[in-house]
Copies of this chain bind each other. A is one copy, B any other.
Amino acid sequence: MIRINENYQKLQSSYLFSTISKKVQDFQKSHPEASIIRLGIGDVTRALSPTVIRAFHEGVDELSQDATFRGYGPEQGYAFLREKIAQVDFIDQGCSLDPEEVFVSDGAKCDTGNFQELFAPDIRIAVPDPVYPVYVDTNVMAGRTGSFVKGRYEGLIYLESTKENRYVPSPEQLDSTPVDLIYLCFPNNPTGATATKEELAAWVKYAQKHQALILFDSAYVQFIRDPAIPRSIFEIPGARDVAVEFRSFSKTAGFTGTRAAYTVIPKECVISGENGKTYSLHSLWNRRQTTKFNGVSYPVQKAAAAVYSPDGQKEIRELSDYYLENARLIRLTMTDLGYSSTGGDNSPYIWVETGKDSWEFFDSLLEKTGIVTTPGAGFGTCGEGYIRISAFNHRDKVEEALVRIRNNLGPNKK
């Protein structure tokens, strides 16, 4: 008799964004006249840039002729793309990197979700709270979390990210039992917070001390404007021994519907086996990817490589500038209305203190204004009393949303 992976039963209802999507559908059904403005899910709205489009078409054209046709590519990605990534995103920024340390994939959601497969079932895992749900749910499915009790999984260690610590957890929060795996995300989803070099260095030091591994998600790196903020965990000395970094073209270059991302695994990163032996994390992930993945669509890789041309770099800078201006306007309005917030300066997300139940605030905002946000509670216990507003939309939609918010929400009565 075929039987279920019982861990699936520990999952909390459906994936957060599916729930929101359902609520929005229901709202549209009951208010067919309403014009909904989406500032919820972090999905870009602006077209791919001209240089990227040109390369994408060229890639398709190559597939149209036998002489230039490409079949299966390397599971790790084409060298032409891995080399550009290593050069522009790391070496030019002062981080040494071998192109072979870059694994191209179809999404950072997939990579951050699949990466836990490499580890023992009983490792101790620390996740931020609030947290991108994928880090948690994929470990639930793998049986590493225990049951969900009073809003948290018993077997996870939550790194509380609150107003008090500027939404940047520190290793000092942990008790004396070491954790083995640490998920960090900066600029943070959902809070928009960024970490300083010193704050990241404290985590690297912790990981070195306890032979822990840091999974560093920097999907939002493109929005950093402050030169003092580290763009990569590998800017921290020693990080190459204890960290993996996930990046994505989704927010960087508008690839949410195009699908490309990458994961960097330094070759010196090793993990331990029961027998006292150590294993190369790079080799393990390579084995995982060659067995379960068949590479990214060739024209998509061509398009991604074009991001690294001088024109491509200029164009994606302009794209992120546009969303950052949206973010500035949103934060200004919320501040005007008396709502305390963070993010939105080096991040496309604004994390707004609502001062009440965040699903209730979400529902009421949707009902009153037709605006979709993301309730903070959907990201964890520490998200209760917050909503996340995304700056990914057209300027006119954002402006319209802000008018509606001013007219319908009124000043925050604390």
Contacts and interface: CB of A to CB of B under 8 A. Distances in A.
A154 B184 CA distance: 39
Given A6-B120, A15-B291, A69 B46 contact: yes
Given A45-B71, A295-B259, A290 B14 contact: yes
Contacts of A138: 291-292
B66 A56 contact: no
A284 interface: yes
Nearest to A67: B47
B109 A106 contact: no
Contact of A47 (B66, B273, B296): B66
Contacts of A299: 56, 60, 258, 299
B72 A48 contact: no
Interface stretch (A159-167, A205-213, A327-335): A205-213
Contacts of A70: 257
A4 interface: yes
A291 B116 CA distance: 13
Interface string A285-313: 00110111111111110000000000000
B5 A117 contact: yes
A43 to B, nearest CB: 4
A137 interface: yes
Contact of A2 (B109, B211, B292): B211
B72 A41 contact: yes
A278 B63 CA distance: 46
A270 to B, nearest CB: 9
A149 interface: no
Contact of A44 (B41, B71, B288, B293): B71
A5 B106 contact: no
A228 interface: no
Interface in A34-59: 41, 43-48, 50, 53, 56-57
A113 interface: yes
B11 A287 contact: yes
A223 to B, nearest CB: 17
A284 B7 CA distance: 11
A199 B237 CA distance: 62
Interface in A151-204: 178, 180-181
Contacts of A141: 117, 288, 291
Contact of A64 (B17, B43, B50): B50
A259 B47 contact: no
Contacts of A80: none
Given A1-B180, A213-B2, A71 B43 contact: yes
Contacts of A110: 292-294
Given A48-B63, A257-B73, A294 B107 contact: yes
Contact of A66 (B5, B46, B57, B106): B46
6 cross-chain pairs, A with B, having the tightest CB-CB distances, nearest first: A43-B71, A113-B292, A71-B256, A3-B120, A1-B211, A70-B257
22 contacts: A1-B180, A1-B212, A1-B272, A2-B272, A3-B180, A4-B118, A4-B279, A5-B119, A8-B279, A14-B290, A15-B287, A47-B65, A60-B299, A69-B254, A72-B256, A107-B293, A109-B293, A110-B292, A110-B294, A113-B291, A257-B297, A258-B298
